[in-house]
Amino acid sequence: MKYKNLGRSGLSVSQLCLGTMNFGPETDEATSHAIMDAALGYDINFFDTANRYGGPENFGRTEEIIGRWFAKGGGRREKVVLATKLYGPMDPWANNRGVSALNIRRACDASLQRLQTDYIDLYQMHHIDRATPWEEVWQAMEVLVAQGKILYVGSSNFGGWHIAQAQEEAKARNFMGLISEQSIYNLVTRDIEREVIPAALNYGLGIMPWSPLHGGLLGGILKKQDSKRRLEGRSKEFFDAKRPQIEKYEAFCESLGHEPADVALAWLLAQPAVAAPIIGPRTQDQLVRSLKALEVSLSAADLATLDEIFPGYKTSPEDYAW
**Would you name the residues annotated as active-site residues?**
53
Contact 105, 140 (CB under 8 A): yes
What does the alpha-carbon distance between residue 131 and residue 183 come to, in Å, rounded to a whole number?
A: 21
CA angle 169, 171, 176 (to 5 degrees): 110
Cα(303)–Cα(262) distance, integer angstroms = 14
* Alpha carbons 108 and 127: distance in angstroms, whole number: 16
Compute CA distances 272 → 19, 209, 315, whole Å: 21, 12, 12
